Structure 1
Amino acid sequence: MSLEEPTSSPPQVLVTGASGYVASHLVQHLLVGGKVKVRGTVRSLKNESKSAPLMKLVPDAKYPLELVEADLLNEESWIEAVKGCDYVYHVASPIIRLGATVSDEQNEIIKPAVDGTLNVLKACVAAGTVKRVVITSSVAAVSGGFIAPRDTPYTEEDWVDESTVPAYEKSKALAEKAAWDFVGKLDEDKKFELATINPSFIIGPPLTLATSDGFSLGSVKKVFTKKVPAIVHVSMAMVDVRDVAAAHIAAMETPEAAGQRYCVDSGRNLWWKEVADIMTEEFGPQGYKPASFVMPKIGVGILKFFDDTLKRVYPMIGKTVTFNSAKMRSQLGIEPRDPKISIIDSCYGLIEIGAVEKTPLYKGRTDDESKGDAKQEEKTKE
């Protein structure tokens, strides 16, 4: 199946949660490609901080972006959103914002993830036009995230025991399992193809200010701006948000991707101290002073009782969890960026969208760096 198949009119594609970190990049990729009509969902069209930046992503797009309202727990809203669509990227899911406290995990995280996924899939059945759905899952559904180290890398064959992990990781596992189960039980005349993208810790430049405070990019931002007292000794498997978006598109266009999961990862882990050192090397001369002190484990153990973020990362201290992304490379043709490049681009992106202030010494990216990034984009497209 390919989005390039000749038709009398371009295919209609839906991107759920279009204002999100990954989804906004996906929308941009699709609009720039100009092969499809793109419809995106947002919770409220009245929220200009979310919808207006999306309309400015590709102002000269061949087919202008269409935005519609839909809510994960409002089943009826998805009927209209999916109507007439050929392909659906289900990216929307509850997220944990850095430092935020969740009082009701079942209703705030797990239920919206699972029921929201099923509501979208039910709407795909009702539409009767959908050929393939690509769902954004996570390595949380594979390994439980980064808290279960083992001697060999995790692969797409692995599934976490959701009863052993925190709410977010549990929500990703339950939502993905629910999706595979739902599609597997459909009558043949109602079936559509399904693929899932399971990215590791996502970094890379944000496209909008609203996406700068999620758990992953928010963590980068806090280290970069020294808004954390110290760094925790944690190793992260990382992947660039632009490579995640490209993987979604490849999973939709690649025939053999039907029925497959894909671990999407750069293949290189970084300790947070390494991340800070990368930031300091690039941005120290430009007036920035990222966090540099590594907090002893005993200190984290004490402070985790007063900080939900430290409580969340405490089990990960000193551990390394890796993922095998060979299938992503061989089947989807994605050659991921070096996470060092992604860290640098994350920081430049945060500065350029106004999430981090410019210092008097700030010079911005050089022409050579911009050209290098353009070459990476072309390499991924090939």
Structure 2
Amino acid sequence: MNTNSNTEKLVLVTGGAGFIAAHCIIQLLNAGYNVRATLRNLNRIAEVKAMLKEGGAVADDDRLTFIQADLSADTNWAEAVSGCTYVLHVASPTPIKDYKHEDEMIIPAREGVLRVLRAAREAGVKRVVLTSAIGAVVYGHPNQKEPFDETTWTNVDSNAPAYQKSKTLAERAAWEFIEKEGNGLELAAVNPVGVMGPVLGADYSHSIHVIKNLLTGKMAGCPKINSGFVDVRDVADLHLRAMINPAASSQRFIATAGESIWMVDVARILKENLGEAAAKVNAKELPSMLLRVVALKDPTVKAIIPLLGRVMNVTSAKAIKTLGWSPRSTAESILATAESLIRLNLLDQ
């Protein structure tokens, strides 16, 4: 990237304290862009700066600024996007464990996306890159041999979990907005699988708890769950490519390191590469019938029952071909996750 021209450009990153967002900020700063990041609470600025430093970013106050903004309110969004060439809309309401109705997740996700898009349109932003999820692609379909691609959408009338429904409906709303009232605003979407990679602090993605629970022995074995994984550094790189490449406009891009693997494979990667650090990892597959019994009383286990035995394979061929994206291997991203958790002493937290 030509950093000389980038120094004139300001990029808004929403949800600046998040795992993917922090890695996006690091890569933007290192590519010469100016960055403005939204935070729900400005008390987290020091924490975010520490995360960025851990990730190797050099951020002076001239090139990185913060603004308080919440997806659930209109306050400050006009100011947040003012003067920005691009917006990376990474922020998303986090999964609620004890929700009474799925609308508690669906409505904030959808309204938040539309709030950001309206503000971006009014400010004359060139393009928004939306962080969607594989949850907006793979649910509610029969098992299939071919990997899922960007042409598939999660069937929200199926038994898809509420969080996945919220990601699907939020992304759908974004595309509908662009089509009907975008007024020239461009949109691209990135749909990552389980996001792994170097943790920068105590705030990290949901997927990383799998590695943490394996390393600490909290998982008594591996449920028969299949998932793709991708390194957060590659997810951030794909956001930047989708931000500036003309061919990315009006497109969605799945981000996965390669073919999906079973949970027991994840455990084996840790055991085969980490030596003593993986002593507590249990690489035994748990019987699905046992989990179905446990699910009758445990809501956390109940949530994974629809996933048991299902192959969740997707392809990143489009991102690789269209944007020249080249992700790290699945094993490398899993090991980078584990090594960062160990290095930062986060396994006990």
TM over 0.5: yes
The answer to whether the 8 A contact 1:225-1:291 is kept is no
In the alignment, the residues of structure 1 paired with residue 278 and residue 40 of structure 2 have an alpha-carbon distance, to the nearest angstrom, of: 38
> 1:5: how far off?
8.4
Tell me what 1:264 maps to.
255
* 1:299-318 matched pairs, under 5 angstroms: 299-318=290-309
SS in 2 for 1:163: coil
| Residue 315 (structure 2) aligned to one of 324, 336, 361 | 324
SS in 2 for 1:215: coil
| Residue 8 (structure 2) aligned to one of 10, 20, 26 | 10
Tell me what 1:120 maps to.
116
In the alignment, the residues of structure 2 paired with residue 15 and residue 92 of structure 1 have an alpha-carbon distance, to the nearest angstrom, of: 8
Aligned residues: 346
Tell me what 2:48 maps to.
51
In the alignment, the residues of structure 2 paired with residue 22 and residue 50 of structure 1 have an alpha-carbon distance, to the nearest angstrom, of: 15
Tell me what 2:64 maps to.
65
The answer to whether the 8 A contact 2:214-2:280 is kept is no
Tell me what 2:284 maps to.
293
SS in 1 for 2:181: coil
1:169 and 2:164 are equivalent in the alignment:
yes
SS in 2 for 1:243: helix
In the alignment, the residues of structure 2 paired with residue 125 and residue 193 of structure 1 have an alpha-carbon distance, to the nearest angstrom, of: 9
1:38 and 2:35 are equivalent in the alignment:
yes
In the alignment, the residues of structure 2 paired with residue 311 and residue 185 of structure 1 have an alpha-carbon distance, to the nearest angstrom, of: 39
Could you list the runs of 5+ residues in structure 2 that have no partner in the other structure?
none
Cα 1:5–1:150 change in 2 (3 A) is farther
In the alignment, the residues of structure 2 paired with residue 174 and residue 64 of structure 1 have an alpha-carbon distance, to the nearest angstrom, of: 34
1:24 and 2:17 are equivalent in the alignment:
no
Tell me what 1:183 maps to.
178
Tell me what 1:153 maps to.
147
In the alignment, the residues of structure 2 paired with residue 345 and residue 306 of structure 1 have an alpha-carbon distance, to the nearest angstrom, of: 35
Percent of aligned positions with the same letter in both sequences? 36
The answer to whether the 8 A contact 2:3-2:31 is kept is no
In the alignment, the residues of structure 1 paired with residue 121 and residue 186 of structure 2 have an alpha-carbon distance, to the nearest angstrom, of: 11
SS in 2 for 1:68: strand
> 1:49: how far off?
7.1
The answer to whether the 8 A contact 1:134-1:197 is kept is yes
| Residue 223 (structure 1) aligned to one of 214, 217, 222 | 214
* 1:76-225 matched pairs, under 5 angstroms: 76-96=75-95, 100-107=97-104, 109-128=105-124, 130-144=125-139, 148-164=142-158, 165-186=160-181, 190-211=183-204, 214-225=205-216
> 1:305: how far off?
2.6
SS in 2 for 1:18: coil
SS in 2 for 1:174: helix
In the alignment, the residues of structure 2 paired with residue 64 and residue 323 of structure 1 have an alpha-carbon distance, to the nearest angstrom, of: 37
In the alignment, the residues of structure 2 paired with residue 3 and residue 161 of structure 1 have an alpha-carbon distance, to the nearest angstrom, of: 41
Could you list the runs of 5+ residues in structure 1 that have no partner in the other structure?
359-382
Tell me what 1:370 maps to.
none
> 1:149: how far off?
2.4
The answer to whether the 8 A contact 2:127-2:187 is kept is yes
In the alignment, the residues of structure 1 paired with residue 108 and residue 244 of structure 2 have an alpha-carbon distance, to the nearest angstrom, of: 28
| Residue 239 (structure 1) aligned to one of 219, 230, 242 | 230
The answer to whether the 8 A contact 1:3-1:253 is kept is no
SS in 1 for 2:254: strand
In the alignment, the residues of structure 1 paired with residue 2 and residue 100 of structure 2 have an alpha-carbon distance, to the nearest angstrom, of: 42
> 1:60: how far off?
3.0
> 1:357: how far off?
5.3
The answer to whether the 8 A contact 1:209-1:354 is kept is no
